Structure 1
């Protein structure tokens, strides 16, 4: 497989590259198997990657979120600078949750492990996981500075030469509500890097490599060249787009200019709203992560994600805007803004690359956290306990130029919706209802994806605070190219009393919270939707009889016939209703 006098052939390097990807995927799987937090085990809110000795990302695991992976791409450089190469030793493990040098907020722990071979530093493994609690006010948007949002762990050593810093662990345990869970997650992060490290050593031995330098050069050069080829094939130009979303107490404007220029693509967020008083601000590293992700999805989706393929995308934002908030701005819910950024970028790309990008979707994850405690209005029964339960949920994604949007699917984050069984196992929570939300997908030639309906409460003897992290109550996802908007978010008490989309809401013993999550926008005019697809939507319960009649023109007789066939279990359009 080697060419005479030139070292490994291109085929051999490609085999090694594929093997490296399998190494980091096993690294991520080790984290999923060993993590304590349900958000990691069940939702996949994590990332894992391998880096060369300069801190450049070479490969990422398929499992993981763009916000973690692309933000973590810059993080290893901060670890090298802060720790210093001269202070790095075999057996070390480093960590941080610094929002500006990690992945954007205190609830993400990033762990980095140096790789030594024959005493020489040759690279790094890094991983990130979202943790349920980090102290402070708890996960939510209510803080007005980073100091209120939890325990800040600067870049530091978790272990030196194989010995864990027990003083650090004591400090962590004293400042969080779920100490066993958090410490367990930190050990899981360290263990997953160790799995990657061992598999990498096996690989290097198998291919007779002393370091990663040659493989890194091959990966980064080919990835960058492939991305540049895609960019050069595009017509040069510039376009702007904007989006208004709910914010906390006032609407937020997000504005971007995307420029295709020679061997690079520029995205500038000038014109976006200023820093907010509450914890929805975004550090620049997270803005870069989701902006680059949107550009890659549209322009070079098949090219592996690494430092080389990310290099041609240049992202800027003015300081002290909501997309480049500086310390000590509160940033706990940076994802609520950050997850909206790809749809804004797509708005600009729709002018530059017509017929390529989808309509707007739900964007931000429909998350909420329950802080449960014994009821205070009467003596609680035995066995009542305190608990923190975080739930990951999704609205619908936007319709695509040739396909409907995906129902209850997290785009752009890519995390999975947590099963009801896992939620109820994590604490004294009852999920009374969780189902798709009919008529929530925006109408169009291609229909937007459906959101969900949820109803949650607590087990007997408990009351709770619900920390809402929702958007699109007042600004639903917009359709594209004539498509209609998706349904807006709704959150109420059991009696119909409206609740805010962000912030803490007290729910007394026996109370429930009802939530309807948003749908994605439609693509193209609704009158162009194929009649067979309308009938299939009706049979599957995606749209109501009223929508089929009033919007799509189905007769009362035809609606009755379709519904009768659906009740008999007949197949519509290749799907079993």
Structure 2
């Protein structure tokens, strides 16, 4: 091969790689357009990707959450161990929601589908979606084991050569409060994988390719080399950090020692709190998913996410700690702890590259599952039965050169759900949803603002919330002299402002509404160094009080 032909081949491989990312993004968008659950079509709580026949992720969609994507990166190998690639047929679709083989809790369905070119299997498409209900206690921390948390689906075929597994769908419909939505979501997951498979075949035909092997070799080698080059720029050493979660029975400490070595970054979670008796435990794949994401955001953000770019990050998760939950520990709301891990990773990296990390943010989603009707109030119910989840976020941490983002989901990346979409499918009313003044941690660059939300049932009827909130007793911390963001608060709108527990099933009585005050992000740098014009802008916008401008920013 001449130098010129070698350069052309490299350019062509890059074009093919970009096309592959477009294929999986269309896969994800098909799911959003066809999904039944608002968690998918409105919030984008999903993932989509393509894998080689060894179960290694080649490319992921731009749309999706790191917890789903990076957990799913491990899950396809589990599918292949039960159903080897050579046994798969066109029209087959495989499914599970096993928290230890999928993405961490029963509310996530993962579907794997083979792709065929002229009768020969050439790759695998996988996706994950968070559905509204899988029965059991519902999405909340109250379960004492995973068996109480909902319908448990092992790795099975949901479609066999294009024919629906009716026995599977009978069990599925019988095990949920929302049978039409859940069945529709499974069909959506399969449809989006089929859309990806069709586009892949078109791509292979267009480029005259007979498979993905050569492209996979290029993707993996380029990604590995680029990631190692970024690691080589970091100062060697071991860096430590810790972060506190509100927990359930007691506060939780997450501790980490990050060692930056030759060709790898290893994280040891020794010193982390033990397992909980409630559903805030984190399966190890979910721990690895968000830890890798937090590292990658700082170390190699420009390198595409795939098997090879994740391989240099190694996690040592001690047995018996809350980040290494064994089966059958309850894990339903593993995100309230797991989504703090990127902040923990940045705490470690602050010791190595302080100019590249952010302050702590609200981190864990504030996504209250709401329930009402006879299942809460019995014969006295004033609204029809409903089960709904709405996704909302506080502020992100300040960045070294810019303020944090207001009401934005980091690290999950899901979209905030429009209140109209939720009100359209459930008898609830959002009476208030606005930015929360003085919630952003002051600093040279300030944190993002949290939100204030007031939610009620129609007619102010009785309803219930399965609280899954954090950052109430432990506010997001600032860095480098920046101040903490405001802590969260959850309670009722009565004259006394009665607080509710931050975790667990609770009833909002008739005539009352649920009040949520979401945390703000921590600030970065001395607040007295902030541009006075920016402080005045925030005061004019009603986001920073005159008292805070005078007492904190010294204006």
Give the Cα–Cα distance (whole angstroms) in 1 for the partners of residues 255 and 506 of structure 2: 31
Measure how far apart 1:509 and its partner are.
2.5
**Residue 204 in 1 paired to residue 196 in 2?**
no
Q: Give the 3 Å change call, closer, same or farther, for CA 520–6 of structure 1 in structure 2.
A: closer
1:400 to 2:399 alignment: yes
1:116 is displaced (CA, Å) by 1.9
CA deviation vs aligned residue, 1:340-388 (integer Å, no higher than 9, x gap): 001011111000112110000001001101111058488556xx41011
| Corresponding residue for residue 564 of structure 1 | none
1:291 corresponding residue in structure 2: 291
Tell me the SS of whatever aligns to 1:100: coil
**Secondary structure of 1:48's match?**
strand
Are the equivalent residues in 1 in contact too, given 2:253–2:273 (CA < 8 A)?
yes
Render the CA deviation track for 1:462-502: whole Å, top value 9, x for unaligned.
42110111001111000000110000111111211110111
Using a 3 Å threshold, how does the CA distance of structure 1 residues 118 and 89 change in structure 2: closer, same or farther?
same
Q: Tell me what 2:385 maps to.
A: 386
Distance in 2, Cα, partners of 1:165 & 1:2: 53
Tell me, yes or no, if the aligned pair for 1:59 and 1:306 is still in contact at 8 Å: yes
| 1:546 and 2:547 are equivalent in the alignment | yes
Displacement of 1:461: 7.5
Cα pair 1:115 1:124 within 8 Å, conserved: yes
- Work out whether 1:171 is the aligned partner of 2:177: no
Are the structure 2 counterparts of residues 165 and 9 from structure 1 closer, same or farther at C-alpha, using a change threshold of 3 Å?
same
For the 8 Å contact 2:44–2:64, the answer to whether it is kept is yes
Deviation at 1:115, TM superposition (A): 1.4
5 Å-filtered alignment, 1:79-98, equals 79-98=79-98
Question: Over aligned residue pairs, what C-alpha RMSD do you find?
Answer: 1.6
Q: Tell me: CA distance 1:14–1:135, structure 2 relative to 1, closer, same or farther (3 Å).
A: same
Q: Partner of 1:438: helix, strand, or coil?
A: coil
Q: Secondary structure at the match of 1:81?
A: helix
- Structure 2 residue runs without a partner (length 5+): none
Give 2:340's aligned residue: 340
Q: Which residue of 2 aligns with 1:445?
A: 444
Corresponding position of 2:52 = 52
> Aligned partners of 2:305 and 2:433: how far apart in 1?
35
> For residues 89 and 502 of structure 1, do their structure 2 counterparts lie closer, same or farther at Cα, with a shift above 3 Å needed?
same
- Trace 1:356-375 onto structure 2 (pairs within 5 A): 356-374=356-374
Mean alpha-carbon deviation: is it higher for 76-85 or for 474-483?
76-85
Aligned residues: 552
Distance 1:378 1:53, change over 3 A: closer
The within-5 A match list for 1:429-468 is 429-460=428-459, 462-468=461-467
Aligned to 2:146: 146
Give the Å deviation of 1:458: 0.2
Q: Deviations over 1:391-437 (max 9, x none)?
A: 10000000011111110111100011111101101200010100000
Counterpart position of 2:511:
510
2:259 aligned residue: 259
Deviation of the 1:249 alpha carbon: 1.9
Normalization by structure 2: what TM-score?
Answer: 0.97
Secondary structure, aligned partner of 1:250: coil
Give the aligned partner of residue 127 of structure 2: 127
Cα deviation 1:480-536 (Å, max 9, x = unaligned): 001100001111112111101110111222221111000010001111111111111
SS of residue matched to 2:394: coil
Name structure 1 gaps, 5 residues minimum. Answer: 555-577
Whether the 8 Å CA contact 1:2–1:9 is kept in 2: the answer is no
Pick which of 101-110 and 544-553 moved more. 544-553
Q: Does 1:524 align with 2:525?
A: yes
* Paired residues of 1:445 and 1:525 also in contact (CA < 8 A): yes
